[in-house]
Amino acid sequence: MAKKVLLIEDEPNIIEAISFILSRDGWQVDTHSNGHDAADVVRKKGPDVLILDVMLPGRSGYDILRDLRSGGGTETLPILMLTARGQGKDREMAEKYGANRFMTKPFANSEVLEAVRNLVGV
Amino acid sequence: MGALNALIAVCLSYVALLFLVAFFAERSAMRGRGGWLRSPIVYTLSLSIYCTAWTFYGAVGYAARSGLEYLTIYIGPSLVMVGWWWILRKLVRIGRSQRITSVADLISSRFGKSNLLAVCVTILAVISATPYIALQLQSVTLSFAVFAEAGGGGQSLYTGESTALWVAMGLSLFTVVFGTRNLDANERHHGVVMAIAVEAVVKLFALLAVGAFVVWGISGGVSETLSRIDASQLGQWQVNGGRWAGLIMLSAAAFLCLPRMFQVLVVENDDEGHLRTASWAFPLYVMLMSLFVVPIAVMGLDLLPEGSNPDLFVLTVPLSQGQQGLAMLSFLGGFSSATSMVIVAAIALSTMVSNHIVMPIFLRVTGGGASVSGDVRHVVLLSRRVSITGVVMLGYIYYRLTGGGEALASIGLVSFAGVAQVLPAMLGGIFWRGATRLGALAGLSVGFVIWLYALFLPSFGPGFILSEAALLNGPFGIDWLQPQALFGIAGLDPLVHALLWSMMLNSVAFFTVSVMTFPSPLERLQGAQFVNVFQHSGGPRSWSGGVAQSEDLMIMAQRILGAAEARALFQREATRQGVRGDLPEPSPDFLESLERELSGSVGGATAHAMVGQIVGGMSVSVEDLMAVADETAQMMEYSNRLEAQSREVTRTARQLREANSKLTRLSVQKDAFLSQISHELRTPMTSIRAFSEILRDSDGLSGDELNKYASIIHDEALRLTRLLDDLLDLSVLENGQVNLNLRHGQLGDLLDRSVAAAAASDDGRALRLTRDAATEALSLHTDLDRLSQVFINLIANARKYCDADQPTLDIRVTDHGDLLWVDFVDNGSGISTDAQDVIFEKFARIGEPRVGGAGLGLAISRQIMQRLGGEITYLRGESGAAFRVSLPRPAMAAQ
């Protein structure tokens, strides 16, 4: 059975690109583009890997990350964070709140694929 | 000759002794160990210069001629000492606090430092004193002559003239040596004072010895003496009440006004407290001096041949009894009386002559200002020395001219009456603030002229200036101007007559003119200083406080210099003086250096006043006050400047803080801005890169997919371009580097073009517009392209963000004459109140992020409207999103 990836991202083109890359590699990709209910969606869907954008409408990616790490069965969920801000302190924030990987946009497709595979130990 | 030679030897030894006494006293004073010099007994003894040769020899003569009247000249001063000690205390305090150097200085200082007054008093004093000095020389000469005769044969080297000359020269020398050591007349002449104290003892002892000899040696006891007195003609003398009262008053006045008395009483005074002792000791002294006067007079009249000079009984009675030793002692007593008077009178008069006549003339001749000559000190000393010699020589010349014929006592009384003219001005000056300079001048002049005319000139006898006819019938036959019967009042004793008129008219003139004239400010101030000297100079305190003073000085110095420095200064001085502990004696040297030290901190005048306040109980003179005020003003100005500077610093600090917090705020904004730009740039780049990699790496993509992905890359590239355009546009607008292209145009046309341009974009949905063409018929003169940019942005925003089912944008134009409003109101749900505050900030994009635009549009619009002189605001109170563009009149075309 295919592993499930949940992508939380608000830019439609980026959603399309990442979905395409992961689907081709055999992942089952779910997407969500709003920050408000992102944490609930994650817990409901129970993905194997989560790709989380930082700048989301409604709620910041860091907030969601903290929420997920605080309980509800998502404490150890492998999470890859993406950000377009690309400043040193964003990486620090991500590590501090418990992200497993952190990547700055724009990224190489192969990098994202590699990172997702590594996170689930494939 | 033997007796005469012995006499000369004794005389010279005595003079040598006086030199030694003066020398040692001076030296211990210099070393600051003059405590014993400051005894009240020494002060009292120094007052005995009141008893001159006139008293020593003349009193007996006076008694022989006029009975007990001689007592009046003792009673007057005794009354002053006992009953008027408060006047003396005031004089002493004033003299001390004002650094008074003489009677002339006192009067001049009180009346606004008038040198004219000083000159008047000086002349008066010199004229009065000259006969008196002559009198002393005469008495010495006469007593020499007595010995010469007794020694057998008067034809010796020691003629009267040469004796007088030798004595005059010797006295000048002594006075110059010990009287002009210090420049400051207020520095006490310890040597001189000590010498005259010794002389006071000698003359008292001599007179008592002669008296005792007369009573117990010749007469055989007190009761025998009393019966002899009863039997003599002295017992029958009638007491003239008027003359007695007049003489008592006169001698009291003279005691206060005589320059030499003022010198010992006030100038040489070390301690106000000494007056207490002197107030009983001095009357006791004169009582002892007068004790044996009558017995000696009676005995002289009895024993000596008819026609003997009663003025010399003190000498001739012992001689007639073969008592050479006693006579010698008596001679020394008389000699002492004469010399001490001449010495002190010469010092006092020379100070006046030098300070008020010679120095002013010298300074005027040399062009004024002490700065002209660097060696004024030398000049002052020289002038003092010349003045001393001059005064003594004047006495000698007077003696030579008059031949010394007058009875001793009468010369003395004429002198007394002369100096007494100063009394009204003196007493008025220290007790009455209303006294003025002109009043003093008037009183002095009137008194002086009357004294001169009614007493002094007639005392030479007829033919000297005043002819006999003038004396008897008045000058030019004017009857009421008869010198000894002024205004037709005849029959009075000449002395009482002159005294009465001169003092009365003097006082009346002084009072009347004072009341009629107004004092100058300086006079007023000085008047207050003199009259209220006790308030000004603080409570009575000892001036020789020693350690107590040093402690006060230390406390003051600590306040000014700081504790450590003050302590160091005092310890240094204590070590130098060899005193144990760290409180040195307040020696003049130390005070001077302390004052210098303090003046570095508080200014010279203030330092002087402060030290003076503690050491001298000294009040502050007008000049001191002025100088202090000047310094204070300077310090105030300095402190004001400091205060201003401190305010300036505070303001600068506040500005710096503000600038700093502004910079911090800007820095935070800049970070946020950079972060935003990064996000806005990276997002399209991410899509571009991802899809270009997909296109490159993925095989078997369908044609649709290829198309779609290429379109995405294309759109995102356009989005990047737009973003960069907006950023550059904003940067140009914000930096004010934009050039406005002002043109004429119609508002309606401009809106048409804007609507068309906004519709051309692919973003957003279809938007219905409602407009009113009539209101849009306005001509504009502005940068049409920029204004259009604002309109396009607002219309495009409505297309993108209006969330109504059927989006409608209402464009309303309102003409307010000086202001044009163009409102853009849509029918969506509007913008939340929170967001309204930030929509004009950069990257404040709100709402649906999916639709394009980086959130710079409104920020750019705001910048444009600022450049055009108008503004863009969010309109509250509308249901949908509502913006108002305001254009000022200059932006509208002239109608």
Residues B185 and B259 occupy one common structural domain: yes
Q: Does B697 touch chain A (CB under 8 A)?
A: yes
Task: Give per-residue pLDDT as tens, B465-482.
Answer: 666 666 666 665 565 566
Residues B616 and B632 occupy one common structural domain: no
Domain that residue B275 falls in:
2-30+38-435+519-533
Task: Give per-residue pLDDT as tens, A14-44.
Answer: 999 999 999 999 999 999 988 889 999 999 9
- Answer with the one of B620, B636, B669 that is the final residue of a domain: B620
Extract the tokens encoding B285: 């002294």
Residues B88 and B229 occupy one common structural domain: yes
Query: What's the whole-number mean pLDDT along residues B6-13?
Result: 79
Comparing alpha-carbon positions, the chain B residue that sits nearest to A103 is: B686
- For position B490, what pLDDT does the model report? 60
Across the interface, of A14, A55, A57, the residue whose CB is closest to B690 is: A14
Burial B114-136 (b: 16+ CB within 10 A, else e): beebbbbbbbbbbbbbbbbbbbb
**What three-state secondary structure class fits B220?**
coil
- For position B685, what pLDDT does the model report? 92
Any domain includes B478: no
Task: Give per-residue pLDDT as tens, B66-107.
Answer: 777 778 878 888 888 887 777 888 888 888 777 777 888 888
Say which residue, B472 or B787, is predicted with more confidence. Answer: B787
Comparing alpha-carbon positions, the chain B residue that sits nearest to A88 is: B675
Comparing C-alpha atoms, which of A107, A21, A101, A108 is closest to residue B682? Answer: A107
Interface of A with B in 25-54 (CB under 8 A): none
Any domain includes B474: no
Q: Does A114 touch chain B (CB under 8 A)?
A: no
Residues B55 and B202 occupy one common structural domain: yes
Q: Does A17 touch chain B (CB under 8 A)?
A: yes
Q: Which residue reads 């003569």 in tokens?
A: B61
Extract the tokens encoding B334: 């008389």
Comparing C-alpha atoms, which of B803, B755, B751 is closest to residue B775? Answer: B751
Q: For testing the chain A interface, which of B668, B671, B677, B683 should be mutated: the one with the most A CBs within 10 Å?
A: B683
Rounded distance, CA A6 to CA B35, Å? 112
Q: Does B851 touch chain A (CB under 8 A)?
A: no
- Answer with the one of B561, B593, B620 that is the final residue of a domain: B620
Q: For testing the chain A interface, which of B668, B677, B681, B687 should be mutated: the one with the most A CBs within 10 Å?
A: B687
Across the interface, of B678, B712, B849, the residue whose CB is closest to A86 is: B678
Burial B454-492 (b: 16+ CB within 10 A, else e): bbbbbbeeeeeebeeebbeebeeeeeebbbbbbeeeeeb
Residues B155 and B237 occupy one common structural domain: yes
Residues B18 and B82 occupy one common structural domain: yes
Residues B118 and B141 occupy one common structural domain: yes
- For position B180, what pLDDT does the model report? 74
Q: What are the angstrom distances between the C-alpha of B190 and each of B26, B37, B99, B100?
A: 5, 7, 17, 17
In sequence order, the 6+-apart residues with CB closer than 8 A to the CB of B721 are: none
Task: Give per-residue pLDDT as tens, B715-743.
Answer: 999 888 988 888 888 888 888 777 888 88
B685 and A105 within 8 Å at the Cβ level: the answer is yes
Comparing alpha-carbon positions, the chain B residue that sits nearest to A113 is: B690
Any domain includes B814: yes
List, as own/partner pairs, every contact residues B590-594 make where C-beta atoms lie below 8 angstroms and the sequence separation is at least 24, other chains included. B591/B553, B591/B615, B594/B553, B594/B557, B594/B569
Any domain includes B587: yes
Any domain includes B697: yes
Check which CATH number belongs to the domain holding B70 and give it: 1.20.1730.10
Query: What's the whole-number mean pLDDT along residues B756-764?
Result: 77
A13 and B687 within 8 Å at the Cβ level: the answer is yes
- Other CB atoms within 10 A of residue B527 CB: 22
Any domain includes B734: no
Residues B777 and B657 occupy one common structural domain: no
Confidence of residue A116 (pLDDT cuts 50, 70, 90): very high
Task: Give per-residue pLDDT as tens, B359-409.
Answer: 777 777 765 444 444 556 677 778 888 888 888 888 888 877 776 555 555
**Residue pair B615/B553 in contact by the 8 Å Cβ criterion:** yes
Dihedrals phi, psi of A81, to nearest 5 degrees: -100, 140
Residues B603 and B663 occupy one common structural domain: no
Residues B183 and B144 occupy one common structural domain: yes
| Residue B675 with chain A: CB contacts under 8 Å | 85, 87
| Residue A14 with chain B: CB contacts under 8 Å | 683, 686-687, 690
| Residue B678 with chain A: CB contacts under 8 Å | 84-87
How far B685 CA lies from chain A's nearest CA (Å)? 6
Rounded distance, CA B70 to CA A112, Å? 140
Q: Look up the ipTM and state it.
A: 0.94
* Helix and strand totals (H; E) in chain A: 5, 5
Q: Is there a cis peptide before residue B494, judged by omega within 30 degrees of 0? A: no
Residues B115 and B83 occupy one common structural domain: yes
Say which residue, B304 or B754, is predicted with more confidence. Answer: B754
Residue B817's region, left for phi above 0, alpha for psi from -120 to 50, else beta, is left
Any domain includes B211: yes
- Other CB atoms within 10 A of residue B83 CB: 11
Q: Which helix (H) or strand (E) holds B169?
A: helix B160-179
Average pLDDT, chain B: 78
- For position B37, what pLDDT does the model report? 65
Q: What percent of chain A has pLDDT over 90?
A: 56
**What three-state secondary structure class fits B26?**
helix
Does pLDDT of B432 surpass 50? yes
**Residue pair B574/B582 in contact by the 8 Å Cβ criterion:** yes
Check which CATH number belongs to the domain holding B677 and give it: 1.10.287.130
Across the interface, of A10, A24, A106, the residue whose CB is closest to B682 is: A106
Q: Does A57 touch chain B (CB under 8 A)?
A: yes
How far B869 CA lies from chain A's nearest CA (Å)? 36
Comparing alpha-carbon positions, the chain B residue that sits nearest to A85 is: B679
| Residue A105 with chain B: CB contacts under 8 Å | 682-683, 685-686
User: What is Dmax (Cα atoms) for chain A?
Assistant: 38
- Answer with the one of B533, B567, B602 that is the final residue of a domain: B533
A85 and B685 within 8 Å at the Cβ level: the answer is no
- Other CB atoms within 10 A of residue B369 CB: 9
Alpha-carbon torsion (B644, B649, B653, B658), positive or negative: positive
Any domain includes B735: no
Confidence of residue B187 (pLDDT cuts 50, 70, 90): low
Q: Give me the residues paired with residue B610 across strands.
A: none
Does pLDDT of B197 surpass 80? yes
Full set of structural domains in chain A with CATH: 4-120 (3.40.50.2300)
Q: What percent of chain B has pLDDT over 70?
A: 81
Total structural domains within chain B: 4
Residues B203 and B348 occupy one common structural domain: yes
Task: Give per-residue pLDDT as tens, B587-628.
Answer: 777 777 787 777 666 666 667 777 776 776 555 555 666 666
Rounded distance, CA B634 to CA B502, Å? 51
Average pLDDT, chain A: 89
Q: Which range, of A11-15, B425-429, B620-624, averages the lowest pLDDT? A: B620-624
